[in-house]
Amino acid sequence: MIPKNLRAVATALLFGAVTAVALTATPADAAVRAAVGKPLQAAQAAAQAGNYSAAMADVHQAESVGGLTAEEQKIVTQMRQYIETKSGGSVGVSDSVGAQAKFDADYRAGRYSEVINGDSDLLRKFGGLNGSNMVIVAQAYYRMNSFKECARYAADHSSLGQDMLDIEMRCAYEAHDDATMRAAVEQLVASTGKAEYWARLLKLAEASKGLSDHQTLDINRIKLMTGSMSLDSDYFLLAALDIQFGLPSEAVNVVQKGFASKVLNGDRANRLLNLAKSSAAADLAALPKTVAAANGAKNGDLLVKLGEDYCGMGRYPDAVSAIQAGIAKGVSDADNAQIRLGQALYGAGQKDAALKAFAKAKSSPNSEMIGHLWTLYVKAH
């Protein structure tokens, strides 16, 4: 694409405007002298005909005229840039405009190695290597199937934002570099909050080896909260895990959201909803006995479980109190207790305290990952 100001100059030359001024005005008043204007007209004609070498030679002739005024120098420079741009930098590069033209032309022509190894350096030399150009360099690596190099380059320039992070993610995937891909997806999640990126990140989390059922439950909870559930099996799995862990009120909410999203429907889903509702009713009826048993237990595991059930009921202050009391008694799974506390604190509107709780779940890689996923979610909401 030819810059607007260069097109204007080219048009003026094409219609003889510069020469007309030079020939009809006195030398003192003329913006451009005939000795300068005529070779520039010839340069315009040669460029239009695709003879860029001849066009540039005419520009050099105009430049060689002694005592160029500021206006003449401006017109000469603009004509040179016009030719460099129109030729795609094929007649030599003398500034950032020509360097950009060559960069763009080489990318369009599929000369990706030249874009990476020559053109980007040329742009840098003339101070024209900007963020958009760096994204194109990464794209050139991708189009060459140089996925490792692409991922490395994109990661080095990931601060440029979503476009670069997208390329980093794709290249890392092709290069089977899970660590780099996860880092890119996490940054995309943190910066955009989009469900599509959450879905990718949670899919990576699901592939982690040695996940406990409770950790799988958390991953699916975050799926639901981020709008990443698209299949009826997603809702069925989360509701089934809730019922398995004695959290029927949460299961009711899950199934109802599945119906509201129109992903769940039919007899099977209705049976699941009825099961969840009847289990929730029984759970609520037994709550006084559950509370008494949890308070009378030797350790705090039952209090932590009670707190998690309270979360499913939406009773977050009660959940915080129960889980904190359980932790004070001592628990068999400290990481799970801290994650449950963070969940309850976030529900109660205590975001900073929730983040501190999630940060304490770090005795195993999977626990740390679950705490980190919750942290990403809480920071974004």
Rounded distance, CA 264 to CA 261, Å?
A: 7
Residue 248 neighbours by CB under 8 Å, 6+ apart: 242, 276, 277, 279, 280, 282, 283, 312
What value does the mean pLDDT take over residues 166-170? 96
Q: What is the pLDDT at residue 88? A: 64
For the chain, the straight-line distance linking the first and the last C-alpha, in angstroms and rounded, comes to 43
Q: Report the percent of the chain where pLDDT is more than 90.
A: 69
Place 92 in a pLDDT band, splitting at 50, 70 and 90.
low
Rounded distance, CA 82 to CA 3, Å?
A: 8
Q: What is the pLDDT at residue 50? A: 73
Rg (CA), the chain: 33
Q: Mean pLDDT over all residues of the chain?
A: 87
Rounded distance, CA 194 to CA 21, Å?
A: 59
The DSSP result for 1-22, as a single string, is ---HHHHHHHHHHHTTHHHHHH
Rounded distance, CA 310 to CA 316, Å?
A: 6
What value does the mean pLDDT take over residues 221-244? 96
Rounded distance, CA 310 to CA 304, Å?
A: 10
Q: In this model, does residue 354 exceed pLDDT 60? A: yes
Nearest to 367 by CA among 335, 344, 331: 335
Lowest mean pLDDT among 98-107, 169-178, 360-369: 98-107
Q: In this model, does residue 21 exceed pLDDT 70? A: no
Lowest mean pLDDT among 23-27, 47-51, 182-186, 303-307: 23-27
Rounded distance, CA 320 to CA 195, Å?
A: 29
What value does the mean pLDDT take over residues 109-125? 90
Distance of CA 217 to the CA centre of its chain: 26
Rounded distance, CA 381 to CA 23, Å?
A: 70
Which residue did the predictor score with more confidence, 281 or 97?
Answer: 281
Residue ranges of the chain assigned to CATH 1.25.40.10: 218-380
Give residue-wise pLDDT tens across range 169-220. 999 999 999 999 999 999 999 999 999 999 999 999 999 999 999 999 999 9
Rounded distance, CA 127 to CA 305, Å?
A: 61
Place 10 in a pLDDT band, splitting at 50, 70 and 90.
very low
Q: What is the pLDDT at residue 260? A: 96
* DSSP three-state, residue 111: coil
Query: What are the structure tokens assigned to 343, written together?
Result: 């969940």
Q: In this model, does residue 96 exceed pLDDT 70? A: yes
Question: Please, are residues 219 and 252 in contact by the beta-carbon 8 Å criterion?
Answer: no
What value does the mean pLDDT take over residues 27-32? 52
What value does the mean pLDDT take over residues 323-341? 98
Rounded distance, CA 303 to CA 293, Å?
A: 9
What value does the mean pLDDT take over residues 35-51? 77
Which residue did the predictor score with more confidence, 179 or 48?
Answer: 179
In three state form, how does the secondary structure of 86-108 look?
HCCCCCCCCCHHHHHHHHHHHHH
Which residue did the predictor score with more confidence, 309 or 18?
Answer: 309
Q: In this model, does residue 18 exceed pLDDT 70? A: no
Q: In this model, does residue 65 exceed pLDDT 90? A: no
Q: What is the pTM assigned to this prediction?
A: 0.76
Q: In this model, does residue 294 exceed pLDDT 70? A: yes
Q: Tell me the one-letter amino acid at 309.
A: D
Q: Tell me the one-letter amino acid at 352.
A: D
Q: What is the pLDDT at residue 67? A: 79
Q: Tell me the one-letter amino acid at 42.
A: A
Place 140 in a pLDDT band, splitting at 50, 70 and 90.
very high
Rounded distance, CA 139 to CA 150, Å?
A: 8
Place 238 in a pLDDT band, splitting at 50, 70 and 90.
very high
Thinking of the domain 218-380, which architecture would CATH place it in?
A: Alpha Horseshoe (1.25)
Place 7 in a pLDDT band, splitting at 50, 70 and 90.
very low
Query: What crossing angle do the helices spanning 178-192 and 162-174 adopt, rounded to 10°?
Result: 150
Q: In this model, does residue 311 exceed pLDDT 50? A: yes
Lowest mean pLDDT among 83-97, 129-143, 173-187, 198-212: 83-97
What value does the mean pLDDT take over residues 21-48? 63
